[in-house]
Amino acid sequence: MACDASVFEDIPIFSLLDADERAVLAEVADALIPGAGRVGVAGALVDRVLAARPDLAPGLRTALAQVAEVDPATAKELAPLRYVVAAAYYLAADVLDSLAYDPQDVRSVRALDFPEYLEEGLLDHLLEAT
């Protein structure tokens, strides 16, 4: 089941990043998630993320300015960068297809249904210990 990413193509997108910031983002994205550059994280995908969450733009721009000074994978101040890269990556149609995930296929979840392992008594010994 392939995801129809074309449903997002008509959404007007604005750009908050300049070409230099996008170049840094592309390099860091590939270091954080191998293949992120191939799917275009630093292009239209990051624009879609920032269109949905414009509050992330200031933190992303700050992180892009600091990325040469710290380790992108672990530095706390680069958390917005890691978040945006992951969000943009999972918007890519190729990624959704490889995960067999279709965001348009919504299924309701019943909050009061119990998992089978509870009904089977697999956790009863934990309750007895308390």
- Residues 6 or more apart whose CB falls under 8 angstroms from that of 106 comprise none
- From residue 80, how far is each of 9, 17, 85 by CA, in Å? 25, 14, 9
User: In a structure prediction context, what are the per-residue pLDDT tens digits for the chain, which is 130 residues long?
Assistant: 455 555 445 544 456 788 999 999 999 999 999 999 899 999 999 999 999 999 999 999 999 999 988 887 788 889 999 999 999 999 999 998 998 888 788 777 776 777 777 778 777 888 776 6
| pLDDT computed for residue 12 by the predictor | 47
Locate 6 and state its tokens. 């074309």
Task: Map out the domains of the chain as residue ranges.
Answer: 5-98
pTM of the model: 0.70
- 58 CB-contact burial (10 Å; exposed 0-12 / middle 13-18 / buried 19+): exposed
Q: What's the angle, vertex CA 11, arms to CA 82 and CA 49, rounded to 5?
A: 5
Q: What is the pLDDT of residue 124?
A: 81
